[in-house]
Amino acid sequence: MKIIDLDTWKRQAHYEHFSRFKDPYFGVIIPFDVSQAYRFSKSNRISFFGKYLHDCMKAINDVDELKLRIENDDIVQYDIINASATIMRTNKTFGCSYIEFDNKLEDFLINLDKEKKRIEHSNELFPERNDLSCVHCSALPWVNFSGHKEPVSGAMESVPKLAFSKIENQQDGKLMMNVSIHVNHALVDGYHVGLFSEKFQHYLNK
């Protein structure tokens, strides 16, 4: 983790402008082709959610601006960003996970499975580790949404928020999934969201 020197940061003016906003977040919905990722998960008998979440986290960790956070009065850049995904229990409540990122899919899936088991046997909403070196994300596999709004706490937030929709089978045979991403404009611009989008699709296709 490193602290950004605001006086020499190229985004100083952007940060000072948008950090004064009551709600500095902006969000977009991006369609992704998940056909290859879905086939990969089924042929290897692994979780499709785990596969695409891992691809998403690789893309997040490739974009430095998505690793920036506001902590107290500092802007910090984390070395590694992890996944704080909501996990549903069998009783249809959910808990927030903290899935440590690993570039190896098999190790990431082990971390995901551990969090699934912990949440299933707990009534806690939040995990023991609950810091800002993560993104907050949710899967909504029941709904093919084309719009999405994240709840806001009213406090200054800087963690990106993502949501993954139900997959839809297109006429050309492609499987498409809409992904909502909300980011703090004091730290992240549309260009960086576009860069994330390109990288996410790249990993989904591998």
pLDDT digits (tens, 9 = 90+) for 73-88: 899 999 999 999 999 9
**CB within 8 A of 184, min separation 6: which ones?**
18, 24, 25, 70, 157, 158, 160
Residue 75 to residue 22: CA distance in whole angstroms: 18
pLDDT bucket at 50, cuts 50 / 70 / 90? very high
Q: What do you get for the CA distance between the two ends of the chain, in Å? A: 29
Q: Tell if the pTM clears 0.75, that is, is over it.
A: yes
Residue 5 to residue 160: CA distance in whole angstroms: 21
The two three-digit tokens of residue 56, written as one number: 């998403």
Residue 98 to residue 141: CA distance in whole angstroms: 20
Residue 148 to residue 154: CA distance in whole angstroms: 18
Rounded mean pLDDT, 161-174: 94
Nearest to 81 by CA among 188, 189, 194, 202: 188
Question: Using an 8 Å Cβ cutoff, are 37 and 51 in contact?
Answer: yes
Rounded mean pLDDT, 142-159: 90
User: Under CATH, which number does the domain 2-204 receive?
Assistant: 3.30.559.10
**Residue 154: is its pLDDT beyond 80?**
no
What is the predicted pLDDT for the residue at 171?
80
What is the predicted pLDDT for the residue at 108?
98
pLDDT bucket at 127, cuts 50 / 70 / 90? very high
Residue 71 to residue 111: CA distance in whole angstroms: 26
Residue 70 to residue 188: CA distance in whole angstroms: 12
**Residue 136: is its pLDDT beyond 80?**
yes
Which secondary-structure segment (H or E) carries 114? helix 105-120
* Mean pLDDT computed over every residue of the chain: 96
The bridge status of strand 74-77 relative to strand 68-71 is antiparallel
**Residue 34: is its pLDDT beyond 90?**
yes
85 forms bridges with which residues in the sheet?
A: 137
What is the predicted pLDDT for the residue at 63?
98
pLDDT bucket at 155, cuts 50 / 70 / 90? confident
